[in-house]
Amino acid sequence: MSNISDKPKRTRVHQIALAVDFADTDAAGVVYHANYLSYMEKCRGDFLRARGVSSSWLASEYGVGCVVVKAEIDFRRPARLDDWLEIDLNVDDVKHTTAWCLQNVRKDDILLVEGRIKLATVSLQSGAPVRMPAELRNCFKDSYETLSKPD
């Protein structure tokens, strides 16, 4: 497996900030590893909502959900109780049913965690992959194309 850092660097498309809560940590005050996935999920949800698309709207309008089907995570340094974290998202690739997002967690511009997340659009009724609704695809595609265009 190649290092996530080996991917080309891009400008952040979307970023959120949050403080590490007591519930996110272990007895030593260090963020439990699985909580980084939750932080990344919050960033992706905020990214979509900022572009007029929400999970509840996708479910009611199209009967689909956007689910994680693969996650590659590199843990570099720990975050601790009460740290302020920045979680960012870059769109890496978009297909008919899937999108890849590169996501990083930083504290004071120090990289703590790198993630590469593959999302798929699935039918909520059958769980089978389905084509992304245009509104969802455009959220990802517009962000990806903006970053991919040469200057």
Say which of 6, 21, 24, 26 is annotated catalytic: 26
Instruction: List, in sequence order, every residue forming a beta bridge with 37; answer none if it has no partner.
Output: none
Is 26 marked active-site? yes
Distances in whole angstroms, Cα of residue 62 to Cα of each of 4, 39, 118: 33, 26, 20
Of 128, 123, 14, nearest in space to 58 by CA: 123
How far apart are alpha carbons 17 and 30 in whole angstroms?
18
Residue 79 C-beta-side C-alpha neighbours within 13 Å: 33
Residue 100 C-beta-side C-alpha neighbours within 13 Å: 11
Known catalytic residues are 26
